């Protein structure tokens, strides 16, 4: 006898149950029902041609693990990769909360059924507000690039202007995402992105060039701190005032892990801040851990232009109870379709919750301590790398990343990285094409995960490679 088809993910695949349901709905089989809804000519009249299935959980595990077992990661290699996705330590409690069924599998329920989800995400908004020193925030978006894209479009709408200044040192990937947000099918509506040079000595924004390029057409000055090349921007306050003098908004892109030690956007009068949440307790996941945040001054003209959902706290009918709801929901595309402020959708809710847990675990002292330890490791690394013949560290005022230049060794970064890979080290990201003026340079990243032995191992491996 042929075994009936039953799948563990489909309870009603049990033939007797299905037959009973078909009897209730008055049909012989699924085909009969489909033929009442979909025209014959559009029906696929053959079984799909797909690989043999692995309905057994163990068989499936063997198959996928077999594919992944040949891969490497930053646990079995010593990694110095960064560039927007960083290898910070993820506390165990973050993983415990991230894997809770309730958070992992919730979606669009309301505040009464999902109070805890609303509160956790509200706490994310609140704690990001503390880190960046700003009073207004929203649900997170996809990544730093999307947050920056949202931010500059907001600046354009607030000012009614169509030009954005960005630093030459912005991550090229981020710039590309931003360009996609700024382009318009109606070309006169496109937001033009202009690049501001950097000081070749320090890597910081060239203030003179900013003053040359800013004008009454400028909607916003977008700058980063630390920059994509790792440099701490020393004149943020000045950048904000130059923007404001010209009626433009100051938009700061930041790495929140730096904000235990570095001055936050609120302290240098930025109007909007954005950045990447991934360092706050989220695994790299081959880039799948990205999560962008947006925050700003608590001003109506700014709030009115956010595309995202924004949670506010409120009261209920019972004294002392907190409830949560959506601020100015009619702005969003869920309500206003094509008249909305850009668009919203499913973004990165789970990462917001994890980041809230991380910020709560770290507290102010943890963030300070971590920032200081990262600074010290990066500076120590720069010192010992600089001592290697032919290796140079061009910029000095960095946080956790800096370019390492190999020009004097005569080697290409790609060759260096190949040599390091053989020694089970992931060298820094090759930026020789993104920043040709920096020659053969790799962007190296150092975090609290690196021990002194790791840094020595890097220096030794480099010496061997040359």
Contact set for another protein, span 274-303 (CB under 8 A): 283-288, 290-291, 298-300, 303
Task: Write each residue from 7 to 46 as x if it is in contact with another protein (CB under 8 A), else as -, in one continuous string.
Answer: x-xxxxx---xx-xxx-xx-x--x--xx-xxxx-xxxx--
Size of the site for another protein (CB under 8 A): 219
How many other CB atoms sit within 10 Å of the CB of residue 210? Answer: 21
Please tell me whether residue 2 binds another protein under the rule CB under 8 A: no
Tokens of 459: 């220096």
Quote the CA–CA distance of 91 and 281 in Å, as a whole number. Answer: 7
CB of residue 405 to another protein, shortest distance in Å: 19
The residue (of 196 and 359) whose beta carbon lies closer to another protein is 359
How many other CB atoms sit within 10 Å of the CB of residue 168? Answer: 17
CB of residue 366 to another protein, shortest distance in Å: 6
Quote the CA–CA distance of 362 and 281 in Å, as a whole number. Answer: 10
Task: Write each residue from 81 to 120 as x if it is in contact with another protein (CB under 8 A), else as -, in one continuous string.
Answer: x-xxx-x-xxx-x--xx-xxxxxxxxxxxxxxxxxxx-xx
Closest to 350 in 3D by CA, of 97, 157, 39: 97
Q: Which residues 191-230 are close enough to bind another protein by CB under 8 A?
A: 225
CB of residue 152 to another protein, shortest distance in Å: 13
The residue (of 210 and 284) whose beta carbon lies closer to another protein is 284
Please tell me whether residue 78 binds another protein under the rule CB under 8 A: no
- Residue at token pair 């010992």: 384
The residue (of 110 and 208) whose beta carbon lies closer to another protein is 110
Side-chain half-sphere of 105: how many Cα atoms within 13 Å?
Answer: 3
Quote the CA–CA distance of 382 and 390 in Å, as a whole number. Answer: 13
Q: Which range binds another protein by CB under 8 A, 162-170, 247-255, 371-379, 402-410?
A: 371-379
Site for another protein (CB under 8 A): which residue of 144, 222, 228, 402? Answer: 144
Please tell me whether residue 267 binds another protein under the rule CB under 8 A: yes
Site for another protein (CB under 8 A): which residue of 209, 342, 407, 460? Answer: 342
C-alpha gyration radius of the chain: 26
Omega cis (within 30) before 240: no
Quote the CA–CA distance of 219 and 226 in Å, as a whole number. Answer: 22
- What is the enclosing helix (H) or strand (E) of 404? strand 401-405
Are 435 and 360 in contact, with CB atoms under 8 Å apart? Answer: no
Please tell me whether residue 4 binds another protein under the rule CB under 8 A: no
Task: Write each residue from 312 to 331 as x if it is in contact with another protein (CB under 8 A), else as -, in one continuous string.
Answer: xxxxxxx-xxxx-xxxxx--
How many other CB atoms sit within 10 Å of the CB of residue 408? Answer: 14
Quote the CA–CA distance of 414 and 412 in Å, as a whole number. Answer: 5
Please tell me whether residue 180 binds another protein under the rule CB under 8 A: yes
- Residue at token pair 């995402």: 177
Site for another protein (CB under 8 A): which residue of 1, 2, 67, 160? Answer: 67
The residue (of 28 and 216) whose beta carbon lies closer to another protein is 28
Please tell me whether residue 416 binds another protein under the rule CB under 8 A: no
CB of residue 214 to another protein, shortest distance in Å: 21
Task: Give buried/exposed letters for 417-453 (b at 16+ CB in 10 A, else e).
Answer: bebbeebebbbbbbbbebbeebbbbbbbbbbbbbeee
The residue (of 216 and 386) whose beta carbon lies closer to another protein is 386
The residue (of 216 and 298) whose beta carbon lies closer to another protein is 298
Q: φ and ψ at 9, to 5 degrees?
A: -95, 0
Site for another protein (CB under 8 A): which residue of 1, 3, 71, 201? Answer: 71
């Amino acid at each position: 006898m042929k075994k009936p088809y039953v799948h563990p993910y489909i309870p009603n695949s049990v033939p007797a149950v299905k037959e009973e349901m078909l009897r209730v709905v008055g049909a012989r089989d699924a085909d009969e029902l489909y033929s009442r809804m979909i025209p014959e000519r559009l029906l696929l009249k053959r079984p799909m041609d797909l690989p043999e299935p692995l309905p057994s959980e163990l068989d499936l595990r063997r198959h996928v693990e077999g594919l992944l077992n040949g891969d490497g990661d930053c646990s079995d290699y010593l990694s110095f990769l960064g560039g927007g996705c960083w290898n910070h330590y993820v506390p165990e409690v973050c993983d415990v909360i991230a894997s809770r069924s309730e958070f992992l599998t919730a979606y669009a329920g309301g505040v009464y059924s999902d109070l805890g989800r609303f509160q956790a995400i509200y706490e994310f908004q609140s704690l990001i507000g503390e880190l960046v020193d700003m009073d207004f925030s929203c649900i997170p978006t996809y990544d730093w690039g999307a947050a920056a894209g949202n931010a500059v479009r907001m600046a354009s709408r607030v000012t009614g202007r169509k030009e954005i200044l960005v630093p030459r040192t912005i991550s090229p990937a981020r710039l590309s995402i931003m360009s996609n947000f700024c382009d318009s099918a109606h070309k006169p509506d496109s937001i033009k992105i202009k690049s501001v040079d950097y000081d070749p000595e320090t890597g910081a924004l060239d203030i003179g060039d900013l003053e040359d390029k800013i004008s009454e057409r400028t909607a916003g000055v977008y700058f980063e701190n630390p920059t994509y090349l790792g440099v701490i921007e020393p004149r943020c306050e000045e950048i904000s005032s130059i923007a404001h003098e010209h009626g433009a908004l100051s938009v700061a892109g930041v790495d929140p892990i730096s904000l235990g030690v570095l001055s936050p956007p609120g302290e240098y009068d930025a109007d909007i801040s954005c950045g990447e949440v991934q360092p706050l307790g989220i695994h790299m996941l081959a880039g799948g851990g990205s999560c962008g945040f947006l925050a700003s001054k608590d001003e109506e003209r700014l709030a009115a232009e956010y595309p995202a959902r924004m949670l506010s706290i409120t009261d209920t009918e019972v004294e002392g109870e907190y409830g949560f709801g959506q601020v100015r929901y009619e702005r969003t595309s869920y309500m206003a379709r094509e008249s909305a402020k850009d668009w919203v959708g499913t973004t990165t809710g789970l990462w917001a919750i994890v980041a809230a847990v991380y910020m709560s675990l770290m507290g102010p002292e943890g963030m300070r301590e971590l920032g200081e330890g990262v600074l010290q490791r990066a500076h120590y690394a720069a010192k010992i790398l600089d001592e290697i013949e032919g290796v140079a560290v061009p910029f000095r005022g960095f946080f956790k990343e800096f370019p390492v230049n190999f020009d004097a060794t005569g080697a290409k970064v790609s060759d260096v990285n190949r040599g390091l890979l053989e020694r089970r080290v992931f060298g820094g990201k090759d930026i020789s094409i993104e920043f040709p003026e920096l020659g053969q340079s790799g962007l190296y990243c150092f975090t609290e995960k690196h021990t002194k032995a790791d840094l020595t191992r890097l220096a030794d491996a480099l010496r061997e490679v040359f």
